[in-house]
Amino acid sequence: MNNEDILLMMPGPVPVVPRILRAMSKPMINHRGAEFSEMYDDCREILADIFKTDNDIFVISGSGSAAMEAAVGCTIKSDDKVVTIENGKFGERFKLLAGIYGDVVPLEFEWGDSIDLDVVEEKLAEGAKAVTLVHNETSAGILNPAEEIGKLARKYDALFIMDGVTSIGGDDVRVDEWGVDIAVVGSQKCIGAPPGLSMISVSERAFDAMEDMKKMPYYLDLKAYRKSAGKEKTQTPYTPAIPLFYALQESLHIVMEEGLDARINRHRTGAEAVREAVNAMGIEMLPNLDSYSRYSNTVSAMKAPEGVSGDDIKKDMLKRGIVIAGGQARLSGKIFRIGSMGNITSRDLLVTIQELETVLHKRGVVSNIGPGIEAASNVLDALL
Ligand X SMILES: Cc1ncc(COP(=O)(O)O)c(C=O)c1O
CB 77 within 8 A of CB 53: no
> Which residues in the 134-163 window bind ligand X by CB under 6 A?
134, 138, 163
Closest CA to 146 of 179, 119, 118, 113: 179
**Which residue of this chain has its Cβ atom nearest to ligand X in the complex?**
64
- Count other C-beta atoms under 10 Å from residue 257's C-beta: 9
Smallest gap from residue 280 Cβ to ligand X (A): 27
- Site map (CB under 6 A) of ligand X, residues 12-31, x = contact: x-------------------
Q: What angle do CA 252, 321, 284 make, to 5 degrees?
A: 85
The answer to whether 293 contacts ligand X (rule: CB under 6 A) is: no
- Site map (CB under 6 A) of ligand X, residues 193-232, x = contact: ----------------------------------------
Smallest gap from residue 361 Cβ to ligand X (A): 30
Tell me the sheet residues that pair with 287.
none
The answer to whether 298 contacts ligand X (rule: CB under 6 A) is: no
CB 104 within 8 A of CB 76: no
Sequence-distant (6+) residues with CB within 8 A of 32 are 233, 235
Smallest gap from residue 217 Cβ to ligand X (A): 16
The answer to whether 90 contacts ligand X (rule: CB under 6 A) is: yes
Smallest gap from residue 348 Cβ to ligand X (A): 19
Tell me the sheet residues that pair with 160.
131
Residue placing its CB nearer to ligand X in the complex, 90 or 109 = 90
CA dihedral sign of residues 353, 354, 360, 363: negative
The answer to whether 300 contacts ligand X (rule: CB under 6 A) is: no
Residue placing its CB nearer to ligand X in the complex, 165 or 338 = 165
Residue placing its CB nearer to ligand X in the complex, 46 or 183 = 183
Alpha carbon separation from 110 to 142, 148, 149, 305, 307 (Å, rounded): 12, 20, 18, 20, 23
Tell me the sheet residues that pair with 301.
337
CB 140 within 8 A of CB 289: no
The answer to whether 64 contacts ligand X (rule: CB under 6 A) is: yes
Size of the site for ligand X (CB under 6 A): 12
Q: Which of 37, 166, 235, 354 binds ligand X (CB under 6 A)?
A: 166
Q: Which of 65, 265, 279, 309 binds ligand X (CB under 6 A)?
A: 65
What residue ranges bind ligand X (CB under 6 A)?
Answer: 11-12, 63-65, 90, 134, 138, 163, 165-166, 186
